């Protein structure tokens, strides 16, 4: 797969009749159909337990559908090399950020770059550039426990961008943040989409967070129930 930005044909993400069963009984996803275009910022909205996280895990190839098909950048995930796919095509941002607490910010951003063939100097420059973009250049020697919640999530975004992915998947990334940190993070997501030309799918149950996306996709009981166009194409999120 090729990673990064650029003009492409067809959808960035397509899920076709996707079903996910757990223990052959629990139907977490029940025939999901979803198409996302290149460069879209889409909010996947619904209550806890509706299937949002399950769908993101399947798109990240952290799990596999029981039935149906998922393609990303035109490649069927059933035939993709999942390790390389996750490393080079997908940037992941989680609610609990999943940073390594004993490594400093600069080291955390570099982790995805190991095994890609990048040299030490190139890794350092890339990590410092991303920390600078996230407003964290002066925090590069600090470990995650010494950062605020908003700073940790900005660090997680920097790490997600390390290998110039084409898609960012964010699972409730604002769930533990105060309103000022939420607004700053949302401004960063829109800036990341525009600057890096990535496709963003962000799962949330927060209507304010969802309103900043280009499009809303609603989920309930493992299904897509509606996909209205957001009226917020030009909504500006105030900086904190």
| Residue 231 included in any domain | no
| Residue 151 included in any domain | yes
| Residue 73 included in any domain | yes
Question: What's the pLDDT at 226?
Answer: 67
Q: What is the DSSP string of the chain?
A: ---S----SS-SEEEEEEEEEETTTEEEEEEEEEEE-TT-EEEEE--TTSSHHHHHHHHTTSS--SEEEEEETTEEGGGS-HHHHHHHTEEEEETT----TTS-HHHHHHGGGTTTT--HHHHHHHHHHHHHHTT-GGGTT--GGGS-HHHHHHHHHHHHTTT--SEEEEESTTTT--HHHHHHHHHHHHHHHHHH--EEEEEES-HHHHHTSSEEEEEETTEEEE-PBPS-TTPPPPP-
CATH number at residue 145: 3.40.50.300
Number of domains observed in the structure of the chain = 1
This prediction's pTM: 0.85
| Residue 100 included in any domain | yes
Question: What's the pLDDT at 230?
Answer: 41
| Residue 8 included in any domain | no
Question: What's the pLDDT at 49?
Answer: 86
- Domain containing 172: what range? 13-226
Question: What's the pLDDT at 81?
Answer: 62
Question: What's the pLDDT at 36?
Answer: 95
| Residue 72 included in any domain | yes
| Residue 2 included in any domain | no
Counting as low any pLDDT under 70, the low residues of the chain are 1-9, 80-81, 226-240
| Residue 1 included in any domain | no
């Amino acid at each position: 797969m090729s990673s990064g930005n650029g003009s492409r044909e067809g959808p960035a993400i397509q899920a076709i009749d996707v079903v996910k069963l757990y223990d052959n009984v629990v139907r977490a996803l029940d025939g999901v159909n979803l198409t996302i275009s290149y460069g879209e910022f889409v909010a996947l909205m619904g209550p806890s337990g509706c299937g949002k996280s399950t769908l993101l895990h399947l798109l990240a190839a952290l799990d596999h559908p029981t039935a149906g098909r998922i393609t990303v950048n035109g490649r069927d995930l059933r035939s993709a090399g999942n390790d390389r796919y996750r490393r080079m095509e997908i940037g992941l941002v989680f609610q609990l950020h999943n940073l390594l607490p004993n490594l400093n910010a600069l080291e955390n951003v570099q982790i995805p770059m190991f095994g890609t063939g990048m040299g030490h100097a190139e890794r350092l420059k890339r990590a410092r550039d991303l920390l600078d973009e996230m407003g964290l250049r002066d925090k590069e020697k600090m470990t995650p426990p010494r950062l605020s919640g908003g700073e940790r999530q900005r660090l997680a975004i920097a790490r997600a961008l390390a290998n110039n992915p084409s898609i960012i998947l964010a699972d409730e990334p604002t769930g533990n943040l105060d309103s000022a940190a939420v607004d700053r993070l949302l401004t960063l997501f829109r800036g990341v989409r525009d600057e890096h030309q990535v496709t963003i799918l962000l799962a949330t149950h927060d209507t304010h967070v969802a309103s900043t996306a280009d499009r809303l996709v609603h989920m309930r009981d493992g299904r897509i129930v509606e996909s209205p166009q957001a009226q917020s194409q030009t909504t500006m999120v105030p900086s904190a």
